[in-house]
Structure formats: C-alpha cells, structure tokens
Amino acid sequence: MVTLRQARLAGRRPWRMAAAALVAASVLVTAGCSGDKGDSPSWQGGAGGDGKTASESPSPQPTLSTVAVTSPAADAKDVVASTEIKYDSEDAENTSVEVKDADGAEVTGVLDKDEKVFRPAKALGWGKTYTVTVTGTPSGDKGGSASSTFTVMKKPSKLVRVTSFLGDGQTVGVGMPLIVRFGRSVPAKYRGEVQRRMVVTASPVQEGIWHWVSPTEVHYRPKTYWQAHTKILYKVQLAGVPMGDGWYGRTDMTVDIKTGRALVMTVSNKTKKMTVKQDGKVIKTIPVSLGKKSTPSSSGTMVVIEKKAHTVFDTLAELGPEEGYRTKIDYAQRITWSGQFIHAAPWSEGVQGRANVSHGCVNVSMANGKWLFGRTMLGDPITVSGTGDKLKNGNGWTDWNMSWDEYKKGSAI
C-alpha cells in the first residue's frame, strides 16, 4: 500500500531529475566555450585545469585629473596688471593655484573654485614676471599639475586718478551715499568691469548697489537708509584696470567708515513744521518757513552736504541789486547745490510755522538752528513735501530721491 507521503515524494522525482540534467548541460556548454584544448573551466579563486590557483585580476591604475592654466596664455607679454588667473580642472574642488613672482614671493589672493579663477588681492607689479602652478590635490585617485609663466605690461603713462569723498574713520548719517570720483570720464563699455572691482561690505549686511551719477562719478546706497551704527568697508581695486583709450587705473583704495545714530528730518509745507526723529522716535518738532511763491523750496529727499556754523550768503553777483542780497547766516546746513540750506533766520521767526518767506531755504529760529546744528552730521536725510517745486536729481546728493528700481537702472552691471 502506497502512503500519501510516498506518493508526494514520487511526484517530485521527475522535477529533480530535470533540474539535474539542466545543470549538467550548463556545465558542458561552459566547458565547450572555455578553449579549443578542452581545458577545464577556471573560476576566480578556484583551480585551473592544471590544479593551480588562477591569478587575481590586476588592480586599476590611478588616473590623474587634467589641469591647465587657461589665462594668461603661456609666455604672454604685456598682460594687464589687474589680470585674473583662469584655469581648468576635472576636480576643481580639490585643485590649488599658486602664483609667484620671479623672486619666489607668493602672490596672495582669492581662489574661486566655482568659476575656476584666482583673483590677486592687489594689482600685479608693472613689468614683473610671474609663474602660475595649478595642482590637482590628490583626492582618491585624482592628482596632477601644470605651470605657466607670463609678464605684466610696463607702467603706462596714462593713469586715471581715483578718489573717495569719504575718508577712513568718518562717522556719517544714515542717508550718506558712498561717493567715488574719477579724474577722467569712464566710457560706458568699461564701467561694468570698474564697478565689479568696487566691493562694499557692511555689518550688519544690507542690500545695496552702485549708481553712475555721471561718467566721472559713481555712488553707492543701500535699498533703504543705512541701519544705525553700521560698519562699512569699501575696496576700490582699480590699479592697472583698463579704463578706455589706453588709460588705466592708478591705485587701489580702501575706506573704512561707520554710520551714527539714525536721525531723519521731515518737513511739511502744509503744517510748516519739521519733525526730527532719532532711532525712530520723535525728539523735536520745529516751526519752519519755506520758500515764498517766487522762490519755492524743492520737494524731495536730500541729505546734509556740508555744515557751516557761520557763513555769508551773497547773491548780488547772480541776481543783481534788486533781487540779490548779502547776509550773514548762522547754523547753515547745505542740502542742494543750487543754494538751499537749513539755517537759522531770526528775521523770519515771527512767521515760522505760519508762512513762507525764504528764498528756498528751510528757515528755523536761532535757538532751533543751534539745537539742530549740534545734532546733525554729514549724510543725515531730510525730506520736504508739498511745495511748488520738485527736486531735480543731481541737485545735491539726491540718491534717495529715486525709487530703488529707478536707482538700480544706474548700475553698469
């Protein structure tokens, strides 16, 4: 009698036999393709037909990353002193760049691995020869190096003077623009490169941009007024930079300044009052008299350009004896080039806060003039509104008289 278990075992045997036959066939086919001498198949780590252990596969040889100096060209002459060193590498992240002069002194600078550019910290020496070495620092199986030599142009006779209106250590108002002037007009096609080499660093960080006021002057302002007590460092690295028609920048320049407290003045023609805020709080309201109808004050945002505790206003030569005048003035603060000031005017104290009688200036009393003069600084902003005349851009430091979008249009980048 056949049990159920025996029947199941008997039913499995044909499958097992078929599998065994398939394996055997596979071995025979493999043996048939192993060579024309009928050698036994050799497996990695196993024995060959002669019973010896098969040799291991050779380890892959290290490959070297390709590096090259792409600019300046090898043995180049008359290279501009402001040149950047450009290179190529398969592994930029692990590539180093070294630049040395003929005496072996190393050139300091900044290596931008994303753009594959080495930017010297200052202009290279006129007429000097330099050697660049680019090295793919070993990382895994990467490595390799390339060298190149070039010579900087001789010092040119045409050099453009570059100056800053502000000097190291100054403290200015929160509306103060950074002002850089050139001794010669900079053609439009060169302004972008010039602007790239003028770098502003502010702490705390604030968004800002350069704006070309004219071919010989460029300003920088943040999107909104500088924050109070901001530390500002701007580097103007233009030595050796081409500036058109065979002219080159003369020198590099660094200026380190800061802003003081945030003092902001606003004047309303409607109320005939000035509101003075410091760090966001109103600290004084001052009655004023603005320009009469024939000589209106300008409406717009200006900043304090200069301060004179005592001066003389003399318009006789300009306006003649009928309209002109020569008057001693106290506590004068210029806000436009055309001659509008904030100043003490004791002769109009009786109408200040009620009527406009000035020649375009913001008149205040002697006491208020002295108080205000003692608290303001260069670059403090003042906005006048509601008069019959609109401030013309360029009539003073009118950087804040433009919207941010309008101001950005003056950038060359």
Helix (H) or strand (E) holding 371: helix 366-373
Which residue has 């580097």 as its token pair? 235
Closest-CA residue to 283 (of 197, 196, 374, 395): 374
Digit-coded pLDDT (tens) for 224-252: 999 999 999 999 999 999 999 999 999 99
Mean pLDDT score, 396-409: 98
The CA distance from 167 to 164, in Å, is 7
Question: What's the pLDDT at 168?
Answer: 97
7: left (phi over 0), alpha (psi -120 to 50) or beta: alpha
Question: What's the pLDDT at 378?
Answer: 98
The mean pLDDT value of the chain amounts to: 87
Question: What's the pLDDT at 56?
Answer: 55
The residues of the chain that CATH labels 2.40.440.10 are 263-398
The residues of the chain that CATH labels 2.60.40.3710 are 159-260
| Set 211, 219, 359, 361: catalytic member | 361
- Please indicate, yes or no, whether the overall pTM of this predicted structure exceeds 0.95: no
**Top-tier CATH class for 67-152:** mainly beta
Choose from 17-21, 136-140, 304-308, 320-324 the range with maximum mean pLDDT.
304-308
Q: Is-contact 120 112, C-beta < 8 A?
A: no
Digit-coded pLDDT (tens) for 340-360: 999 999 999 999 999 999 999
| Set 211, 219, 343, 359: catalytic member | 343
Question: What's the pLDDT at 22?
Answer: 37
Question: What's the pLDDT at 60?
Answer: 55
The CA distance from 251 to 249, in Å, is 6
Q: Which fold has domain 263-398?
A: L,D-transpeptidase catalytic domain-like (2.40.440)
pLDDT at 219 over 90: yes
The residues of the chain that CATH labels 2.60.40.3780 are 67-152
Can you list the pairs that 136-141 forms with residues at least 24 positions away whose Cβ atoms lie under 8 Å? 136/64, 136/65, 136/67, 136/89, 136/90, 136/91, 136/94, 136/95, 137/94, 137/95, 137/96, 138/94, 139/91, 139/93, 139/94, 141/62, 141/63
Question: What's the pLDDT at 31?
Answer: 35
Question: What's the pLDDT at 66?
Answer: 83
320 band by pLDDT with thresholds 50, 70 and 90: confident
The reply to whether 33 belongs to the active site is no
Domain 159-260 has CATH 2.60.40.3710: yes
pLDDT at 318 over 80: no
Question: What's the pLDDT at 322?
Answer: 74
Q: Within 10 Å of residue 206's Cβ, how many Cβ atoms? A: 16
Digit-coded pLDDT (tens) for 6-63: 444 444 443 343 443 333 333 333 333 333 444 433 333 333 444 444 455 555 555 5
136 band by pLDDT with thresholds 50, 70 and 90: confident
For 255-284, letters b (16+ CB in 10 Å) and e give bebbbbebbbbebbbeebebbbeeeeeeee
The CA distance from 286 to 266, in Å, is 10
Choose from 131-145, 313-327, 337-351 the range with maximum mean pLDDT.
337-351
Digit-coded pLDDT (tens) for 254-298: 999 999 999 999 999 999 999 999 999 999 999 999 999 999 999
Q: What is the DSSP letter of 408?
A: H
The reply to whether 211 belongs to the active site is no
Question: What's the pLDDT at 47?
Answer: 38
